[in-house]
Amino acid sequence: MDTQTVPPLDKQLPREFESKATNTIRMLAADGVQAANSGHPGMPMGMAVAALTLWTRVMRYSPANPQWMDRDRFVLSARHASMLLYAMLHL
């Protein structure tokens, strides 16, 4: 099956976009922890660059085909970092 992946294998994100996206992830994590009055923003804020790199350069997935069996999956086992996952899914 020929499935178009996100991100395309031949595209590179502009540096300005990466900087804004990283800062947005950090702020979403901090805001989420503050709004919940619970949690720890340190790990989500510290892992923002790594998560963005995984989602934009490494992982292959297709929003148009969520049943694609060969898609990559992101598993986050540290519960105190759940705001990182929520921020990534929001973006």
Task: Give me the domain span that covers residue 49.
Answer: 15-61+73-90
pLDDT confidence band for 83 (50 / 70 / 90): very high
Higher model confidence: residue 11 or residue 80?
Answer: 80
Q: How many CB atoms lie within 10 A of CB 71?
A: 16
Mean pLDDT of the chain: 86
Is a pLDDT exceeding 80 seen at residue 40? yes
Look up the pTM and report it: 0.79
Q: How many CB atoms lie within 10 A of CB 81?
A: 21
CA–CA distance, 68 with 14 (Å, rounded to integer)? 28
pLDDT at res. 63: 83
Q: Is residue 79 part of a domain?
A: yes
Question: Measured between alpha carbons, how far apart are the two ends of the chain, in Å?
Answer: 27
Residue type, 56: T
CA–CA distance, 57 with 29 (Å, rounded to integer)? 21
Number of domains in the chain: 1
Q: Is residue 2 part of a domain?
A: no
